[in-house]
Amino acid sequence: MPGPRVWGKYLCRSPHSTGCPGAMWWLLLWGVLQACPTRGSVLLAQELPQQLTSPGYPEPYRKGQESSTDIKAPEGFAVRLIFQDFDLEPSQDCAGDSVTISASGSDPSQFCGQQDSPLGRPPGQRAFVSSGRSLRLTFRTQPSSENKTVHLHKGFLALYQTVGECPSWGCREGASVPSHDPDAAADCHPYPSSLPVCGRPVTPIAQNQTTLRSSRAKLGNFPWQAFTSIHGRGGGALLGDRWILTAAHTIYPKDSVSLRKNQSVNVFLGHTAINEMLKLGNYPVHHVIVHPDYRQNESHNFSGDIALLELQHSIPLGPNVLPVCLPDNETLYRSGLLGYVSGFGVEMGWLTTELKYSRLPVAPREACEAWLQKRQRPEVFSDDMFCVGDETQRHSVCQGDSGSVYVVWDDRAHHWVATGIVSWGIGCGEGYDFYTKVLSYVDWIKGVMNGKN
């Protein structure tokens, strides 16, 4: 990637900067040494966001306690912290229960109350970035009073991580960057709107899975997974912070005699259970862009089966909502490479309510062509498609999975890449499945996202 690189490939300001590639070894070493947030504990920040919570979160915290947590980054890096959830008892000037953020050379900042409430002083969505390599969070709660009504508050959930080292003006809040250094925010912010981190789940996918049967996904395994409801259930994947990659046929299904005009397009994110996704709410879609090569009236031709949904608003990223990466080379499609496909599709004849995933290999193209010919199938298997699966093994890709993505691990870039989009197949559970080859459309995707197409 030309120019300065932020997040994942650390910012290199000069040949002597410890933020250059050699410093990655520090992160690998530090990542092994993690501590639990107990009284007076030390946490070692890593490249990926890690969680820090109040004791017992999300259960109500106990009164009359105090704990301090020091978060440290490797030499040459800073610590960034942002609150995802904040629920403390409000008090005048935060004299009661409070969280204090402090760093060397700066005045401490004290917070209390609830995230979306005007009472107290909640931290909101601002980011706190240390000037040096450490930041301290202190959590204090006042002893309960017998004459006082008990308030049940769950405390806080914060994310912390290493970022490129910031200028030395103390513990900086994301909304208060000195005007003389306009580039400082970009250097220290791991989620700039133009380049959010992609393909690195906070909760890693279990890669030791040996069965080709589906497994239930854990929260955060596939944080890019979208659930769509258009002409039925479908899937998609988050790109950046406001785009959903999906299949064109989920928007314009093949062989549909009559389609309602102004069909509603519903997108849900942020969980592995459909009912929880529905509670989180629909993300309104601003614009639907279908690839021009897609032909709805050609029932046996799924060329160009790719579309983008632009959401009305940027999505706040967190451990359960992160984008996936796009492919950049053909080696990600080599035969035998194992990847994962996830979705909310039909399984064993039943609609699932939980996100499932399967581990499947990229299949040899010749094997898939022979399999289609053997069955005298008329479907077009173009160069802009590839096939996945094993003719001898059952799998679980089926109706309802359309639009979801197939991801493989890129050893060179160290992140997950969406190489394919679930497009078409012959029946469910047997043989091969056919995917839109995302690499063939990367230029189109980037052009749409940059407003050029």
Residues catalogued as catalytic: 249, 305, 402
DSSP state of 251: T
Length of the chain: 453
Candidates 79, 119, 78, 75; CA nearest to 96 is 119
DSSP code string of 114-143: BTT-SSEE--TT-EEE-SSSEEEEEEE-PP
Strands 120-121 and 405-410: unpaired
Report how far residue 421's alpha carbon sits from residue 243's, in angstroms, rounded to the nearest whole number.
15
What are phi and psi for residue 26, nearest 5 degrees?
A: -60, -45
Strands 77-87 and 66-72: unpaired
Q: How many CB atoms lie within 10 A of CB 116?
A: 9
The token pair at 370 is 């022979």
Torsion of the alpha carbons at 387, 392, 397 and 399, rounded to the nearest 10: 100
